[in-house]
Amino acid sequence: MARDKKSLFDWLTGSAGADQEYTFDDLETGSGLTQVRSDKRSATIQMKPEAEMPEEPAEGELSVDVYQTPTHIVIKAMIAGVRPEDLDVSITRDMVTIRGKRERHTEGASGDFFFQELYWGSFSRTIVLPQEVEIEEAEATEKHGLLVIRLPKMDKGRQAKLKVRSN
């Protein structure tokens, strides 16, 4: 009598006879790992071999310095080689997202390089701010490839007098 191969779930949880059904090579290649079912909860996991997975270009993460002064939060990032129209800075009261794209402009063929360490392509970085900022008064400048974003801190102690009108 032929026995069916146990599911990956059975093998991982140590169900009876599962230790003889899979090898570590099966886990790496994904062979036979198409479906996992549980009695009370139903979940289906479909794994494709690596050759079938679409390859998306990896997005780089922008390196930043973030510090504060008594009145501002300051973010600095090296964006050399990025045109201003290829840069997007989005600000909320508690978060900043910087996205951009660095276009590759090379003169040599790929076989001509001794080192190829510079990052080309899309990049992004989201920074959660340590305190809320006044987004209307934020400033961004770029000089010699250095992006500087100055975010005025929200003054929570500031008070304003409200005049009451009668109708």
Listing from the earlier edge strand, what are the strands of the sheet with 139-143? 64-68, 72-78, 146-152, 139-143
Q: What is the pLDDT of residue 49?
A: 56
Q: What is the pLDDT of residue 69?
A: 95
pLDDT tens profile 54-111: 555 677 888 999 999 999 999 999 998 888 888 999 999 999 999 998 877 666 666 7
Q: What is the pLDDT of residue 107?
A: 66
Walk me through the domains of the chain, giving residue ranges and CATH numbers. Answer: 8-52 (no CATH), 60-105+117-152 (2.60.40.790)
Residue 158 has pLDDT above 90, yes or no: no
Q: Name, in order, each residue with C-beta under 8 angstroms of 33's C-beta and a sequence gap of 6 or more.
A: 8, 26, 27, 45, 47
Q: What is the pLDDT of residue 80?
A: 87
121 in Cβ contact with 57 (< 8 Å): yes
pLDDT tens profile 56-68: 567 788 899 999 9
Q: What is the pLDDT of residue 60?
A: 80
Q: Is 5 helix (H, G, I), strand (E, B) or coil?
A: coil
Question: DSSP strand E in 4-138: where?
Answer: 60-61, 64-68, 72-78, 87-91, 95-102, 121-128
pLDDT tens profile 6-46: 666 666 666 655 444 555 555 555 555 444 444 444 454 55
Greater confidence, 92 or 52?
92
Q: What is the pLDDT of residue 140?
A: 93
